[in-house]
Chain A
Amino acid sequence: MSQHESVNNGNSFPEIKEIVTKVSVNKTPAMMILQAIQFTYGYVAPEMLERVTELTGIPSSTLYSIVTFYAQFRLEPIGDNLIQVCHGTACHLAGAERITESMVMETGAQAGKTSEDRLFTVDKVACLGCCSMGPVITLNGEVHGYVTPEKVQKVIKERRECCVANGCKDHDHTAGKEATVSE
């Protein structure tokens, strides 16, 4: 227990307290708390898990068993831009492998990893549900269909230039979550 306190002092990750309070009204909050943390910080660090244990009493072994089981949880922070390359069946047939290869080449990030300059994280995912438009990628939550290596070059160049020029960080990686249409 004292160890936990020395790590966190109860002050780090202030949002976690809010999350825990909000989510704990549900019957089985562990997974939802972790999902909310991932949504807020973009990843789940061991110290965050300890903080959750501290606040809720859920054993950290339980929390670890969840974050290591589900592919969605990341244990490391992501780069400034998050790219998901779909490797579902339709996209595989449409040439997803080439898209990932060119993504790796353009961003310098190996699949599943973040580039050294921390500008890009490239992930392979299974099916984004737009299978008729393969190959499909998402760039910071926005879906792009019929992607070609040429388009990859173009969008990565644009993003790189924009991020370097404006120092823009923390794109809304969850843009899709808020894809509201103006009424």
Chain B
Amino acid sequence: MSSQYKVIVGMGSCGIAAGAKKVYDSLQDTLNDGSAKLVIGGCMGMCFAEPLVEVAADGKRVIYGRLTSENAAEIIAKHIKTGQPVIESVIWSEGLDSADANYFNKQQRILLKNCGVVDPESIDSYMSHDGYKALEKALKTMTPEQVIKEVEISGLRGRGGGGFPTHIKWTLAGKSAGPDKYIICNADEGDPGAFMDRSVLESDPHRVMEGMLLAGYAIGASEGYFYARAEYPLAIKRLRMAIEQANQKGYLGKNILGTGFNFQLFIREGAGAFVCGEETALIMSIEGKRGMPRTRPPFPAEKGLWGKPTNINNVETYANVPAIIFHGGAYFAQYGTESSKGTKVFALAGKIARGGLIEVPMGITLNNVVFDIGGGLQGGGKLKAVQTGGPSGGCIPAELCDTPIDYDSLKKIGAIMGSGGLLIMDESACMVDVAKFFLTFTQDESCGKCTFCRAGTKQMLRILERISEGKGKSGDIELLEDLATKIVQGSLCGLGQSAPNPVLTTIKYFRHEYEAHINDKICPAKKCKAFISYEIDADKCKSCSKCAKGCPTKAITGAKKEPYVIDKAACIRCGLCMSACKFDAVLVTTGSGRGE
């Protein structure tokens, strides 16, 4: 008897960007003979090997990767015909020893269990994976207090960056006087370089909604809002579908599951302001105003949206709740460390060999993540630093990457857990440039309310710019440190309070790089334009003229059979010639070896 094959195409934004839609179309043509059921799935988390297709039968999963619209149909058809995996193209399958198997095997996927497995556009698919069972359990067998108690036992802390214990917020909001209370899901994900929330919303939207429903039941709210980044159109689209389907099935609306509990969900799109990820600014923005943070207390749990008690949590925080209620808080708490329980989702990006969306128990080390799961650095490069927490976080040097990933250990070394972006840097990253990058961002995104944040970040940026332009002075580093302390003290919200972190950690761990820029006029990573020169290695140049054609200032000249030459006076050091050259003939130099 032939088993029923299910073929799942990973259709998160990353997958689609890598060509998943074309792969889907090609499979549709091949599989229309009924040999398998073709469905879409969300993000399987292996961005490094997109597009991905899973072939599932009898509970056995085989995931293929790096497919193209040309070879996908053939590989999948062969598998189905022979009943055997096409080993060369397998990225992961249980018990199979593929080159990339560790990427999956070393993870602990609880929250991401459904990602890439369920069809994000179908509530039935979610329900067939225990979907809305936790809600049913809570509504029918638990009191709101018992729900909060279970969350307390789990030890869940907010995944949006702050790490505040979730049950405390819920208790406070629960005790605030009703009847009008609100639930907000913070899906603003402003940290550039992080994509956990996007992937979860695109891949398993009902799980987040179920978490919000449970929160609503726990605190006594009957309305919830998603505040989602406008840059995430696919996530918003799938949320819309999910809300509609949940309304049809009676998981949203009036008298849910006949229990008398009412709840409705709405979506509000952000409009491109990082500060609106801060909870009080976010609330202002939902209210349709400029998103400016205000002082707390009163906390949103007392006085939030439209002045009513409001519970606000991050996407991932809510997404953890259904499993906590379904399996019990102790199930979640068995993972992780004493103070940081459970698992955490990370977005692994930068110069990593295997980047993507991962979930690991708290307490494993950064090195575990980078080398065991991520497979080391791209092109066999050397690890220089890991950046956590985005613009509010810090750069952790390679020497400290045996630090366990938990809230307190990361704090101790000057970084933060943040929301889950992990950026891996190799020797090509210049730490002054990285600091300048983040400061440019925070300076631009400061809402302007606090003087220190508004003017102070600008001053810090000016100093960093000066250093990277070769005009750094002795005393600049100390000045940066001094300003940093004052901005932290003089800012009302987390944006200003944490904006200096990337500068402070890079000074702390890479002070020599700052000194090289200031004193020796060298950029060791050969990044800062003021300190580098491009030249063409005459021996390697094949006179193909590609570099000259791509040069915006026409600074490169040459002739057939003669090596090309860069006019250094006209060169703006954009590096386009280096990208264009197929023969590695364009060299970049800094310091004394640098010919003027």
Total interface residues on A, CB under 8 Å, equals 56
Mask: chain A, 62-84; 1 = CB below 8 Å from B; 0 = not: 10011001111100000000000
* Among A94, A104, A131, A177, contact of B195 (Cβ-Cβ < 8 Å): A131
In the bound complex, what is the Cα–Cα distance between A90 and B193 (angstroms)? 5
Cα-based distance from A148 to B576 in the complex (angstroms) = 10
* Assembly CA distance A88 to B189 (angstroms): 12
> Known contacts A70-B271, A71-B272, A132-B349: does B47 contact A181 (CB below 8 Å)?
no
Neighbouring A residues of B579 by C-beta, 8 Å: 95, 98, 148-150
A29-B288 contact, Cβ under 8 Å, with A73-B271, A131-B349:
yes
Are B14's CB and A133's CB within 8 A? yes
The residues in B between 280 and 337 inclusive whose CB is less than 8 angstroms from any CB of A are: 285-291, 306
Closest-CB distance, A126 to chain B (whole angstroms): 4
Query: A105 CA to B551 CA in the complex, in Å?
Result: 9
Q: Whose C-beta in chain B lies nearest to the C-beta of A137? A: B17
CA distance A105 to B437 in the complex (A): 23
Q: List 8 A-B contacts (CB under 8 A).
A: A66-B289, A87-B192, A101-B576, A132-B14, A132-B352, A133-B18, A143-B16, A149-B550
B552 to A32, Cβ gap below 8 A?
Answer: no
Interface string of A91-102 (1 = CB under 8 A from B): 011110110011
**Within 8 Å of chain A (Cβ to Cβ): is B564?**
no
B350 within 8 A of A: yes
With contact pairs A89-B437, A98-B574, A143-B16 given, residues A132 and B47 touching in the complex (Cβ less than 8 Å): yes
Contact (Cβ within 8 A) A144 B17: yes
Q: Which of A71, A88, A182 has the most CB of B within 10 A?
A: A88
* Chain B residues closer than 8 Å to A179, beta-carbon distance: 16, 233-234, 237
Give the chain A neighbours of B234 by CB distance below 8 A.
176, 179
Cβ–Cβ contact A177 & B233, under 8 A: yes
Complex: A130 Cα to B12 Cα, angstroms: 9
Q: What separation, in Å, do the CA atoms of A101 and B348 have in the docked complex? A: 27
Within 8 A of B (CB), among A152-183: 153, 174, 176-182
| CB-nearest residue of chain B to A178 | B237
CA distance in complex: A103, B425 (Å): 25
Residue of A73, A153, A179 ringed by the most chain B CB atoms within 10 A: A179
Closest CB pairs A-B (n = 6): A88-B192, A89-B193, A132-B355, A70-B271, A28-B288, A132-B47
CB of B355, distance to nearest CB on chain A (Å): 3
**Assuming A32-B288, A35-B269, A98-B574, is B193 touching A88 (CB within 8 A)?**
yes
Q: Are B429 and A93 in contact (CB under 8 A)?
A: yes
The answer, yes or no, to whether B356 is at the interface (CB within 8 Å) is yes
B271–A72 CB distance below 8 A: yes
**A127: CB under 8 A from chain B?**
yes
Least CB distance from B192 to A in Å reads 3
1/0 contact trace for B32-63 toward A, CB 8 Å?
00000000100000011010000000000000
How many contacts between A and B, using CB within 8 angstroms?
A: 172
Is A89 a contact partner of B11 (Cβ separation < 8 A)?
Answer: no
Q: Please, how many angstroms separate the alpha-carbon atoms of A179 and B576 in the complex?
A: 33
Cβ-based interface call for A30 (8 A): yes
Extra A-B contacts (12), CB below 8 Å, given A27-B306, A89-B350: A28-B286, A66-B271, A66-B289, A70-B270, A90-B423, A130-B13, A131-B349, A131-B421, A145-B17, A149-B576, A153-B550, A177-B237
Q: Is A69 in contact with B576, judged by CB distance below 8 angstroms?
A: no
How far, in whole Å, are A153 and B423 apart by their CA atoms in the complex?
28
B510 contacts the other chain (CB 8 A) = no
B342: min CB distance to chain A, Å: 24
Please, how many angstroms separate the alpha-carbon atoms of A177 and B47 in the complex? 21
Q: How far is the CA of A86 from the CA of B347 in the complex (A)?
A: 17
The complex places the Cα of A101 from the Cα of B98 at a distance, in Å, of 40
Question: From A145, which residue of chain B is reached at the shortest CB distance?
Answer: B17
Q: Is B347 within 8 A of A131, CB to CB? A: yes
Q: Which residue of B lies closest to A99 (CB)?
A: B579
User: In whole angstroms, what is the CA distance A97 to B578 when docked?
Assistant: 13
B17–A133 CB distance below 8 A:
yes
Closest to B429 in A: A93
Q: Which residue of A lies closest to B290 (CB)?
A: A69
Interface bits B262-285 vs A (CB < 8 Å: 1, else 0): 000000111111100000000001
Q: Does B167 contact A (CB under 8 A)?
A: no
- Which of B50, B271, B291, B355 counts the most chain A CB atoms within 10 A? B271
Q: Is A128 an interface residue (CB 8 A)?
A: yes
Q: Is there a chain B Cβ closer than 8 Å to A31's Cβ?
A: yes
Does B410 make an interface contact (CB < 8 A)?
no
A86 to chain B, nearest CB (A): 8
Q: Which residue of A lies closest to B199 (CB)?
A: A129
Contacts of B231 in A (CB 8 A): 125, 127-129
Residues A131 and B194 in contact, CB atoms below 8 Å apart:
yes
Chain A positions within 8 Å of B121 at CB level: 181
Q: Is A141 an interface residue (CB 8 A)?
A: yes
Q: Which residues of A contact B269 (CB under 8 A)?
A: 35
- Say whether A28 contacts B290, CB under 8 Å: no
Contact: B552 with A129, CB < 8 Å? no
- Identify B232's interface contact among A88, A129, A141, CB under 8 A: A129
> In chain A, residues 35-78, which have Cβ atoms closer than 8 Å to a Cβ of chain B?
35, 62, 65-66, 69-73
Q: Would A127 and B350 count as touching, CB distance under 8 A?
A: no
Contacts of A129 in B (CB 8 A): 13, 189, 195, 198-199, 229, 231-232
A98 to B289, CA, bound (A): 36
Decide: B347 and A102 in contact? CB cutoff 8 A: no
Most chain B CB within a 10 A radius of its CB, from A95, A125, A126, A177: A126
Chain B nearest CB from A181 CB (Å) reads 5
Within 8 A of B (CB), among A13-38: 27-32, 35
Smallest distance from the beta carbon of B376 to chain A beta carbons, Å? 15
Q: How far is the CB of A145 from chain B (nearest CB, A)?
A: 5
Q: Once the chains are docked, how many angstroms separate the CA of A178 from the CA of B306? A: 32
* CB-defined contacts of B576 to chain A, threshold 8 Å: 98, 101-102, 105, 149
Cα A31 to Cα B289 in complex, Å, equals 7
Residues of chain A within 8 A of B14, CB atoms compared: 130, 132-133, 145
| A89 nearest CB neighbor, chain B only | B193
Q: Which residues of A contact B199 (CB under 8 A)?
A: 129
Interface centre among B24, B349, B575, by most chain A C-beta atoms within 10 angstroms, is B349
Residue B230 is within 8 A (CB to CB) of chain A in the complex: yes
Which chain B residue lies CB-closest to A141?
B233
Q: Is the CB of A131 within 8 A of B40?
A: no
Pick the most buried of B237, B390, B421, B576: most chain A CB atoms within 10 A of its CB: B576
CA distance A90 to B386 in the complex (A): 12
Q: Determine if A119 is an interface residue (Cβ-Cβ < 8 Å).
A: no
Q: Which residues of A contact B447 (CB under 8 A)?
A: 69
- Chain B residue numbers with a CB within 8 Å of A29 are 288
Name the contact of B552 in the complex, choosing from A30, A105, A127, A177 (C-beta under 8 A).
A105
